[in-house]
Amino acid sequence: MPKTQKTSKEWIKEAAWALVQRGEKPNPAPVRTELRTLIDTTPSQVTLIKALDEFWLELSTLVTHPKVPDSVMRQVVKVWETALKESENNIGADRAALQAAKEEYEHRIETLTLTEKTLKSQVALQQQDLVKLEQTLQTKERSLAKANGLLDSLDEENKRLKKELPQQETRYAAFEKRVVAQYDREKTAREKLERQISGGPAKAKLTAKTKARSAKKVVKKSVAKRRLKVA
């Protein structure tokens, strides 16, 4: 009978049975290797797994069949026990791996929780610092606005004084002229009176000059003080 008349599952089961007869476990990898000696094509992984599931089911039924030869039965039982033992070992390893993964996951969750709490605490502190900075900035902005307002007022006052300065200088110049004229009139009257009293014109003239110099100093000091007040 040509090889190609069998289905893929039948070829897979035949390869698995050949492995059992040699005392080997029919895992997917050995079955694929055995299939290469039987057929030229390679079945898909899904087909291989399904065929092996059926093979194991058929093998469990065969173990209890009374007509199976002892030699075959011993090989089947040996492979069966090996498969069970490996399955138990795999389950134990899987459980250990699962427990380790669970513990690692719980540790990560705990670490993430602590990290989250720390980050929240840091964010809260930063928010408090931000509020304080905003309050400080607002205070400084108010102080700056107040200082700018005061500076503007001083600038306006300075402009006003500069604008009034020529008028003030004109007023004080006129005042100075009036004071000097008044002083000259008083000086003339005083000299005349002194000449009349002392009868000596030279002495009266000397006394008048001394008093004139004193009067001029007083006038200059008075004018200087008024200018300083204006400036």
Q: Which one-letter DSSP state was computed for residue 41?
A: S
* Main-chain dihedrals φ then ψ at residue 38, nearest 5 degrees: -110, -40
Closest CA to 166 of 103, 227, 84, 76: 227
Question: What does the block give as tokens for 184?
Answer: 């000259």
Domain boundaries, the chain: 3-68, 162-230
Express each pLDDT in 172-186 by its tens digit: 788 888 888 888 888
More confident residue, 11 or 180: 11
Decide: pTM greater than 0.75: no
More confident residue, 207 or 118: 118
Specify the pLDDT at position 76: 67
Specify the pLDDT at position 229: 60
CB count, 10 Å around CB of 204? 19
**Contact residues for 9 (Cβ-Cβ < 8 A; gap 6+):** 43, 47, 50, 51, 54
| Chain length of the chain | 231
Task: Give the pLDDT band of residue 47 (cuts 50, 70, 90).
Answer: very high
Q: Which one-letter DSSP state was computed for residue 3?
A: G
Question: What does the block give as tokens for 25?
Answer: 């476990």
* Residue 201 reports pLDDT greater than 80: no
Least confident of 36-45, 88-97, 133-142: 88-97
More confident residue, 205 or 183: 183
Least confident of 7-11, 37-41, 77-81: 77-81
DSSP assignment string, 111-127: HHHHHHHHHHHHHHHHH
Specify the pLDDT at position 70: 61
Specify the pLDDT at position 1: 39
**Contact residues for 73 (Cβ-Cβ < 8 A; gap 6+):** 63
**Contact residues for 79 (Cβ-Cβ < 8 A; gap 6+):** 20, 23, 24, 25, 26
More confident residue, 86 or 208: 86
The whole-chain average pLDDT of the chain stands at 79
Mean pLDDT along residues 147-169: 84
Task: Give the pLDDT band of residue 98 (cuts 50, 70, 90).
Answer: low
* Residue 169 reports pLDDT greater than 90: no
What's the rounded Cα separation, in Å, for the pair 205 and 186? 14
